[in-house]
Amino acid sequence: MADRTQTLIQQAEQDLLHTYNRYQIVLDRGEGVHLYDVEGKEYLDFVAGIAVFALGYHYPGYDEALKAQIDKILHTSNYYYNEPAIRAAHLLKEASQMDRVFFTNSGAEAVEGALKAALKYAYTTRGKNDYEVIAMEHSFHGRTYGALSVTGNAHYREAFGTMPCNVRFAELNNLESVLALVDEKTAAVIVEPVQGEGGLIPATEEFLWGLRNLTRERGIALIFDEVQCGMGRTGYMYAWQKYGIRPDIMATAKALGCGVPVGAFLLTEECAKYSLVAGDHGTTYGGNPFACAAVAKVLELYKENDICGHVQEVAPYLTEKLQALADKYDCISEHRGTGLMQGLVFDRPVAPIIAEAMKKGLILINAGANILRFVPPLVIEKEDIDRMAEILEPVIAGLPS
Which pTM does this prediction carry?
Answer: 0.95
Query: Would residue 36 count as lying in a domain?
Result: yes
- Residues 40 and 76 reside in one and the same domain: no
Do 301 and 371 lie in one domain? The reply is no
Q: How many domains does the chain have?
A: 2
Summary mean pLDDT of the chain: 95
For residue 65, being part of any structural domain is answered with no
CATH of the domain at 390: 3.90.1150.10
| 163 in a structural domain | yes
- State the pLDDT at residue 110: 97
Query: Which amino acid appears at position 216 of this protein?
Result: R
Residues 6+ apart with CB under 8 A from 158: none
Q: What is the CATH number of the domain that holds 176?
A: 3.40.640.10
- In tens, the pLDDT along 113-169 reads 999 999 999 999 998 888 999 999 999 898 888 888 898 888 788 888 777 778 999
One domain, residues 30 and 53? yes
pLDDT at residue number 285: 94
Domain assignment present for residue 243? The answer is yes
- Asked if residue 214 is part of any domain, the answer here is yes
State pLDDT tens for residues 72-111: 999 999 999 999 999 999 999 999 999 999 999 999 999 9
Q: What is the mean pLDDT of the segment spanning 386-396?
A: 98
Q: Is residue 78 part of a domain?
A: yes
Mark whether 82 and 155 lie in a shared domain. yes
Residue 117 placed within a domain: yes
Instruction: Decide: helix, strand or coil at residue 301.
Output: helix
Residue 244, classed as helix, strand or coil, is coil
Distance in angstroms (rounded) separating the CA atoms of residues 56 and 377: 5
- Note the pLDDT of residue 10: 92
**Interval 262-279 mean pLDDT:** 96
Is 67 part of any domain? no
Q: What is the rounded distance in angstroms from the CA atom of residue 74 to the CA atom of residue 289? A: 6
Residue 120 shares a structural domain with residue 268: yes
- Condensed to tens digits (0 to 9), the pLDDT of residues 326-373 reads 999 999 999 999 999 999 999 999 999 999 999 999 999 999 899 999
Cα dihedral sign for 62, 63, 68, 71?
positive
Domain range enclosing 53: 3-59+307-397
Amino acid 31 reads: E
Angle (nearest 5°) at CA 185 between 184 and 189: 105
